[in-house]
Chains A and B, each alone.
Chain A
Amino acid sequence: MSNASQELIEIDIRGQICPSCLLTTLREVNQRQAELKAGEVSLRVKTDSRDATSTIPAAVGNMGYPVTVEKREGYYLILIDGRPREGAAQGGAMT
């Protein structure tokens, strides 16, 4: 289980009204809190909102999750990584 690949959850909010980007992402992050912290899932948010590339990393980063932003063809990909903890034999061990 510790080396199983993470589940990638994709959230495609391209074309949507601006606050939807941050609200939808925050909702997803909150719902998947435990799994994110355990490194079992990571979120991939697809957005065409330039504003979101600023607000999402700021908000989610403040919650303690590593966030990276990559530019793709015509949109941005925001990766919220629930990084698995290296060396943990059982999930959930706090380093």
Chain B
Amino acid sequence: MPDHPYVLIGLASFLLGSAAGFVMHRSDFCIAGMFRDLFLFRDRFMLRMLVLAVVASMILFEAARLMGMLSPYPFPLLGPPSLANLVGGLLFGMGMVLAGGCVIGTLYKMGSGSLLGALAFAGLIAGSTVYADIDPGWSALVAATTVFPGKVTIPEFVGVSPVLLVTPVAMAASLLLLRWYRQDRWQRRSAAEGYLQPWKAALALALIGMLSYVLVGMPLGITTSYAKIGAYIENAVAPEHVGDLAYFHAEPLIYRPPLSDVTVRGGAGPVLDGIAAIQFPLILGIVLGAACSAVMLREFRIYWRVPLRQCVSAVIGGVVMGVAARMAPACNVWHLLGGVPILAAQSILFVIGMVPGAWLGSRLLTRLVLRA
């Protein structure tokens, strides 16, 4: 009887997702909010906590790699850098602020009863699906602007062991974090019941990311399955069209999960494959984890009277995020808490693009959506 890794992968993803959803709800760990609040209110508190999460991830991943626990390395679905990462990041940053949350933010908010979260989620699926129609053109652009073909991380470009670059970066960042700690900038007052200080959430997310890498073979990633969900829906109404779209037939994921001899494959098409096994339980876990957190605090409630402009903004923001996540490829959590910790160039470019994108999104949010 073949030992199929889907069970371990699915279970691990679900449990890790639940923990992430719970922890993020309790500490308001919304990455979109971090950048938006920087631009709107000059509030850097949550961004410091993001730095903590990234640095902790960097250290944990490298430690795991040195102990031989990370296979494959770099993790799958990462490629060499191109202009697409910058452009995708820019659009993503804009979309996430308009949507009121990034990919995971949307899920944990939806899980706690947010109508805007649900609308952004719908937008994300729509945007991810629509991408399939522009994929041929976009892939051409990617190919034309790719540099360092075949190499993914900066240590690979330079030709050194990751530890030689990760160590100084992590040390420098740790000094900064320590300085902030001494300035008492790691804590924040909150009257929210059951509030979890974000530094704890940051460390928890780093651990969750590492465990995901060790057990599933990659850190947390979600958005390919949004295209898959959309493909299922589109397939129900226009199967011939779905049949024509190469994007829905490609299988970019081909890898051997840790603790298994089986090769797992997957893509964005309307089939239950490796991507589905990894990401569907993760999504479900995050939503349920956040829902549990909210219910336990008696804070789960759906408010329906939301200004129309904000609803429209959430949908449009979601669509933009969805397209951007396919263009980049991948979302902010994958890059910030997965790629950047291993110094993947795609992810660094994505983040570089995301920052001005978030600035732009914040401008649009205040000018068009909230000043109504």
Residues of chain A touching chain B, judged by Cβ–Cβ distance below 8 Å, are 14-20, 22-24, 48, 50-51, 53-55, 57-59, 69, 71, 73-76
Contacts and interface: CB of A to CB of B under 8 A. Distances in A.
B370 A20 contact: yes
A51 B37 CA distance: 11
Contact of B115 (A15, A51, A57, A69): A15
A1 to B, nearest CB: 33
Contact of B30 (A20, A51, A75): A51
B41 A73 contact: no
Contacts of A19: 33, 36-37, 40, 365-366, 370
Interface residues of B, number: 39
Q: Which of B36, B113, B301 has its CB near the most chain A CB atoms (within 10 A)?
A: B301
Contacts of B330: none
A54 B303 CA distance: 21
A18 B314 CA distance: 11
B191 interface: yes
A15 B306 contact: yes
Contacts, number: 83
Given A19-B37, A20-B370, A54 B192 contact: yes
A15 B113 CA distance: 9
Contacts of A48: 113, 299, 301, 303
Interface in B298-326: 298-307, 310, 313-314
Given A15-B305, A23-B366, A53 B192 contact: yes
Contacts of A73: 298
Which label, helix, strand, loop or mixed, suits the secondary structure of the B interface? loop
B182 interface: no
B3 interface: no
A19 B37 CA distance: 8
A32 to B, nearest CB: 19
Nearest to A71: B193
Contacts of B156: none
Nearest to B109: A18
B191 A20 contact: no
Contacts of A20: 310, 370
Contacts of A14: 303
Contacts of A54: 28, 188-192, 195
A74 B300 contact: yes
Given A51-B30, A74-B299, A75-B301, A17 B116 contact: yes
Given A18-B30, A23-B40, A73-B298, A53 B313 contact: no
Interface in B269-304: 298-304
